[in-house]
Structure 1
Amino acid sequence: MQLPGPLVSVTWLAENQFDPNLIVLDASIKPVGNNSSNKSKVKIPRARTFDFDKKICDQKSILPHMMPPADLFEREVCELGINSDSCIVVYDSVGVFSSPRARWMFKAMGHDNVAVLDGGLPAWISEGHPTEECVSQEINLGNFITKPREHLFCDMDFVALALNNSSQVVLDARSAGRFSGNEPEPRPGLRSGHMPNALNIPFNDVLVDGKLRSVDELSKIFSSRIKFDQELIATCGSGVTACVIAFAAELIGYKDITIYDGSWSEWGLPSSRPVVTK
Structure 2
Amino acid sequence: MTTDSIPVIDFSPFINGDTAARAAVAQQMRQASSAWGFFYLSGCGMPADQLAEAFAASKAFFALPDDDKQAIAWQNAESNRGYVGVRRERLDDSKPGDLKEAFNLAPEQPGGPRNLWPAALPTFQPEMEHFMAACIATADRVLEAFALALEQPDDFFVTAHNRHHHTLRLLHYPPLPEGYTPQDGENRAGAHTDYGSITLLFQDDAGGLEVRTRAGEWLAATPIPGTVVVNTGDLMHRWTNHVFCSTPHRVNVPPQAQHRDRFSIAFFCHPNKDAEIACIDTCASADNPARYAPISAGDHLLQRLNATY
After TM superposition, is the score higher than 0.5? no
Normalized against structure 2, the TM-score is what? 0.23
